[in-house]
């Protein structure tokens, strides 16, 4: 979208340009060209092993494409310092990746305290804000990860990723290890955070209902290829290939009625 008066078009938050990644003789990501607009929520879905995680890891340069390019805010990841890149790109993954020897507060404060040059007040304010946003009671501040439930640990992981104030948040099945009720409330909270902050989210999931609920665009992958990238409505009403048709067949009646 051109910005009013600026006369220029902002680059997408993330753009894959013919991105390909091989592991030995197999192709994990095959010639993917997709642009993720700033502020959008993109869910990535597909069968196990179809390249979702590899695609995500290309955004924060944990994986570099063998062919093609990945651009973050208009700059190729190959040209960016990975440390600088990861400052603007948060990463939250399945299960708990919290520092076990740090409290909840210290886990969430980890990046803000570096960025705020150890300014205690600003860091405290950031911790409080993000704990509130993910609905973690302040009584949890002094607990260690081993003293948390799975759902609480996931909330801390999300708060920690968000507290670094990334422009882009990568999430790889972040809710897969929790029960259905916690999952549903985490989904609602994430949706709310996305609406409030305008952050760009790329979210990998196996759960098609989660993909449709959260995503304003859904990227369907099949064997390394991006086979459809469209709104949930368009995916349901006009599946681009037989694989997508099979994927959504059972949901169509429920969603489009």
Ligand X SMILES: Nc1ncnc2c1ncn2[C@@H]1O[C@H](COP(=O)(O)OP(=O)(O)OP(=O)(O)O)[C@@H](O)[C@H]1O
Report, in Å, the least distance between residue 49 CB and ligand X: 4
Of 145 and 225, which CB lies nearer to ligand X in the complex structure?
Answer: 225
Q: What stretches of 73-214 adopt beta strand conformation (E)? A: 75-76, 89-93, 168-172, 200-204
* Span from 48-56, 67-75, 145-153, 232-240 in contact with ligand X (CB under 6 A): 48-56
Tokens representing 183? Answer: 């999952």
Q: Is 205 in the site for ligand X (CB under 6 A)?
A: no
Report, in Å, the least distance between residue 240 CB and ligand X: 19
* Span from 3-11, 34-42, 45-53, 116-124 in contact with ligand X (CB under 6 A): 45-53
Report, in Å, the least distance between residue 16 CB and ligand X: 14
Q: What stretches of the chain adopt beta strand conformation (E)? A: 14-23, 26-36, 41-46, 67-72, 75-76, 89-93, 168-172, 200-204, 217-222, 225-230
- In 3D, which of 160, 169, 249 has the Cα closest to residue 208? 249
DSSP 117: T
Residue 6, SS3 per DSSP:
coil
Which H/E stretch holds residue 50? none
DSSP strand pairing (217-222 vs 200-204) = unpaired
Of 53 and 96, which CB lies nearer to ligand X in the complex structure?
Answer: 53
Q: Is 231 in the site for ligand X (CB under 6 A)?
A: no
Report, in Å, the least distance between residue 23 CB and ligand X: 3
Q: Which residues from 52-111 bind ligand X, rule CB under 6 A?
A: 52-54
Of 51 and 232, which CB lies nearer to ligand X in the complex structure?
Answer: 51
- Using CB under 6 A as the binding criterion, the count of chain residues that bind ligand X stands at 11
Report, in Å, the least distance between residue 62 CB and ligand X: 10
Of 50 and 85, which CB lies nearer to ligand X in the complex structure?
Answer: 50
DSSP strand pairing (41-46 vs 89-93) = unpaired
Q: Are 248 and 218 in contact (CB under 8 A)?
A: no
* Span from 44-52, 143-151, 192-200, 231-239 in contact with ligand X (CB under 6 A): 44-52
Report, in Å, the least distance between residue 52 CB and ligand X: 4
Of 48 and 139, which CB lies nearer to ligand X in the complex structure?
Answer: 48
Sequential DSSP letters for 125-160: HHHHHHHHHTT--GGGTT--GGGS-HHHHHHHHHHH
Q: Are 59 and 136 in contact (CB under 8 A)?
A: no
* Span from 20-28, 75-83, 112-120, 208-216 in contact with ligand X (CB under 6 A): 20-28
Residues that bind ligand X (CB under 6 A): 23, 26, 28, 46, 48-54
């Amino acid at each position: 979208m051109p910005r009013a008066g600026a006369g220029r078009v902002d680059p997408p938050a993330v753009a894959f340009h013919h991105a390909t990644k091989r592991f030995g003789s197999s192709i994990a990501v095959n010639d993917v060209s997709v642009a993720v607009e700033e502020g959008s929520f993109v869910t990535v879905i597909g069968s196990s092993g179809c390249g979702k995680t590899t695609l995500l890891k290309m955004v924060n340069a944990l994986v570099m494409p063998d062919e093609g390019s990945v651009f973050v805010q208009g700059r190729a990841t190959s040209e960016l310092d990975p440390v600088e890149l990861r400052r603007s790109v948060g990463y939250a993954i399945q299960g708990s990746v919290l520092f076990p020897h740090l409290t909840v507060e210290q886990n969430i404060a980890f990046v803000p305290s570096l960025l705020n040059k150890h300014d205690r007040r600003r860091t405290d304010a950031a911790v409080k804000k993000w704990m509130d946003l993910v609905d973690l009671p302040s009584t949890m501040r002094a607990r260690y990860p081993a003293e948390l439930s799975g759902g609480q640990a996931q909330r801390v992981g999300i708060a920690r990723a968000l507290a670094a104030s990334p422009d882009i948040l990568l999430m790889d099945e972040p809710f897969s290890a929790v029960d259905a009720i916690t999952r549903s409330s985490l989904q609602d909270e994430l949706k709310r955070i996305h609406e409030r902050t305008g952050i760009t989210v790329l979210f990998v999931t196996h759960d098609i209902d989660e993909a449709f609920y959260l995503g304003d665009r859904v990227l369907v992958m099949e064997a390394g290829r991006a086979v459809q990238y469209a709104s949930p409505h368009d995916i349901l009403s006009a599946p681009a290939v037989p694989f997508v048709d099979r994927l959504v067949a059972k949901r169509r009646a429920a969603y489009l009625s």
